[in-house]
Amino acid sequence: MQDKVKLIQYGVGPIGASIVKLVLQKEGFEYVGAIDVDPNKIGKDLGDVAGVGKKLGVPISGDAKKVLKDSKADLVIHTTASFLKDIRQQITDVVDAGLDMVSTSEELTFPSLKDPEMAMEIDALAKKKGVTVLATGVNPGFLMDTLPLTVTGVCQDVKSIKVTRMMDASIRRLPFQKKIGAGMTVDEFKKAVAGGRMGHIGLPESIAMIAAGVGWKLDDIQQTIEPVVADRPLKTQYLAVERGQVAGLHQVGKGIVKGKPAITLDFWAYVGAPENKDSTFIEGTPNVDLTIKGGVHGDLATAAMVVNSIRNVIKGQPGLMTMTDLAIPRALLGNIAKLAGN
Amino acid sequence: MQDKVKLIQYGVGPIGASIVKLVLQKEGFEYVGAIDVDPNKIGKDLGDVAGVGKKLGVPISGDAKKVLKDSKADLVIHTTASFLKDIRQQITDVVDAGLDMVSTSEELTFPSLKDPEMAMEIDALAKKKGVTVLATGVNPGFLMDTLPLTVTGVCQDVKSIKVTRMMDASIRRLPFQKKIGAGMTVDEFKKAVAGGRMGHIGLPESIAMIAAGVGWKLDDIQQTIEPVVADRPLKTQYLAVERGQVAGLHQVGKGIVKGKPAITLDFWAYVGAPENKDSTFIEGTPNVDLTIKGGVHGDLATAAMVVNSIRNVIKGQPGLMTMTDLAIPRALLGNIAKLAGN
């Protein structure tokens, strides 16, 4: 390990920018490249586009292969898209260039669910190239999979796992409020769901990760997305929701084992929710009844999970990994080059 | 991997017995050897001594080296003693025989704290022999180290970590009530503390594990053990505590970083405690305020942590590991031989 871990930022949208800001607060990192497809960003400095308040001397390029090959980087932070079909070539290019990678792609957190063939191919290529690939985040990646799974570690037996995440969208950014349908009519919401343009991405991946983690065979994964309808007028800093309009969404994922819902993930995000909280209830021997009061702030935590996972990815075995394959997550509070060395 | 993971039980006291019982509920394990120093146990069947209600066809032997060498085992479950000085030869024998090992020794959960030289020697030998050594349990091993550390994974920055474990000893076994001093005079308690015969073992190891995990340099580890004095007469199923006598103990460990107590472990175990709970508060970005309501049942969870860790030890890299080096813990609900294979 050199004295710096050299990074390429692949994708400089809002999440990418929040990660760049966090990386700059840490010791032992250095950006050596940046990639984005947006013509408005290409040619500009990574620091300017990420809004860190200074230039980093790293121009954003639209030529991914060239940056990956020429930058002499150690690891790529990949924040471009959610779905495997949109990022297959990107991942292949990164791995082919012999670089480790941490991605925020939701489907890549447990890629064998949606595309087992692609997962095997990337895993084989990563092993051949000696690099480690991981996708993570706060959800999927931690609150509704890694954390509940970790908590089952104290159980002699487990009958069922129920995880609840409830977010009051009133205090979130406008894009978040729009993403969950706040202010839509019920009809618009249902059309958006039917068109695959509405809903949290990743519940099936979280269910599959938990099941594989403990050794349960899933008969089926079921998912429902329903609107939460406002029973009174609601107002946020950004928008108003009339009575009868959509305040947000309630999404439920179930993992069916031997005919029963052994895993239930209950996701609420709406304007006017009574509280923010994350909880896990394990029905087992013993029961475990865990609650994070006030919940975990999604935007802050996603950037944290990505940056904090870099050490485990650098130290990890080669291959396409999930959060269940690598060492336990933990905050990165020292120099990454020292902590990931030896 | 064969169709069974073959085990040796090294130590058949109460914890060893509880582990044997749990192992027998799982798929894919087979006991092939058992070791204990107690002349009353030697020659008897492991099933009889562990109280599982049937013979296992495995005689308990006093000749550790012979059992380790001849049993053709894969892994040793080691439950003999808490302190490194008492188990050094035992560990060396296990590793020398080329066997993986999961131990409940509290000091072995973070061995470089008390005996860095021994830790390096065993690590080197384990790497040479290609075996993995881990010590774990519920505390130390999970509630006051691995779990809080895992939770910091969502934090961009951490100022301090406070972990509280509170146990109402009224509902625990008599040996536990005696261990925490219930029914002693304050004077007896203080003498026992001064003589090193009183107090929870492992707070310093948990502190060292958290600090190393996040990359904090510890200036100092401080520990206090105080009696909780009964302010009224107390009665359990097993014993009575007069007013003014000791109801149990309050132990505090602090990890000092840059002159401040960055890590505080607050351990309460006494007859008449108001509740059972485990909690972690991370002061950071974001804060995380986690509570396990009703706490985690220690006796059940210790056996669970040991058996659940076997997969990670079999799949883990060779060496003397801590919980921060291996994959995340999780319940073992399928066939171990299949889950640890591939």
Q: Divide the 342 residues of chain B into consecutive groups of 10 and give the mean pLDDT of each group.
A: 89 97 98 98 98 97 98 97 97 98 98 98 98 98 98 98 97 89 96 94 98 98 98 94 97 98 98 96 98 95 98 97 98 95 64
- What ipTM is given for this predicted complex? 0.97
Which of B330, B332, B342 has the highest number of chain A CBs within 10 A, making it the mutation to test binding with A? B330
- Cβ neighbours of A83 (radius 10 Å): 15
* pLDDT of A329 over the 60 cut: yes
- Going from the C-alpha of B106 to that of each of A151, B81, B139, B212, B220, the distances in angstroms are 20, 8, 8, 17, 20
CA separation for the pair B106, B206 (Å, rounded): 9
Residues B192-211 pLDDT 10s: 999 999 999 999 999 999 99
Which of A127, A156, A324 has the highest number of chain B CBs within 10 A, making it the mutation to test binding with B? A156
B307:A156 CB<8 A: yes
Q: What is the mean pLDDT of chain A?
A: 97
Query: If you ran DSSP here, which 8-state letter would residue B45 be given?
Result: B
Which residues does residue B293 pair with via DSSP β-bridges, in sequence order?
B277
A324:B325 CB<8 A: no
CA separation for the pair B106, B139 (Å, rounded): 8
Distance of residue B153 Cα from the nearest chain A Cα, in angstroms: 4
Angle at the Cα of A153 from the Cα atoms of B148 and B150, rounded to 5 degrees: 25
pLDDT value at position B227? Answer: 98
Question: Which of B138, B154, B330 has the CB atom closest to A149's CB atom?
Answer: B330
Question: Which of A309, A329, A333 has the CB atom closest to B158's CB atom?
Answer: A333
Q: Averaged over A216-240, what is the pLDDT?
A: 96
Question: Which of A216, A327, A334 has the CB atom closest to B327's CB atom?
Answer: A327
Residues A19-53 pLDDT 10s: 999 999 999 999 999 999 999 999 999 999 999 99
Distance of residue A277 Cα from the nearest chain B Cα, in angstroms: 10
pLDDT value at position B1? Answer: 52
CA separation for the pair B154, B156 (Å, rounded): 7
> Residues with Cβ < 8 Å from A58, sequence gap 6 or more?
A9, A31, A32, A33, A34, A45, A46, A47
A328:B153 CB<8 A: yes
Q: Averaged over A141-166, what is the pLDDT?
A: 98
CA separation for the pair B25, A265 (Å, rounded): 28
B294:A289 CB<8 A: yes
Q: Averaged over A128-143, what is the pLDDT?
A: 98
B287:A294 CB<8 A: yes
Distance of residue A188 Cα from the nearest chain B Cα, in angstroms: 34
Distance of residue A330 Cα from the nearest chain B Cα, in angstroms: 4
CATH: 3.40.50.720, 3.30.420.40, 3.90.550.10, 3.60.15.10. Which one for B5-137+300-339?
3.40.50.720
pTM: 0.97
Tokens 């059972």 label which residue?
A: B276
The answer to whether domain B146-295 has CATH 3.30.360 is yes
Residues A282-304 pLDDT 10s: 999 999 999 999 999 998 999 99
CA separation for the pair B247, B272 (Å, rounded): 7
- Kind of pairing, strands B75-78 and B100-103? parallel
Residues B58-91 pLDDT 10s: 999 999 999 999 999 999 999 999 999 999 999 9
Domain ranges, ordered by start, for chain B: 5-137+300-339, 146-295
Which of B26, B333, B342 has the highest number of chain A CBs within 10 A, making it the mutation to test binding with A? B333
Three-class secondary structure of residue A226 per DSSP? strand
Distance of residue A243 Cα from the nearest chain B Cα, in angstroms: 33
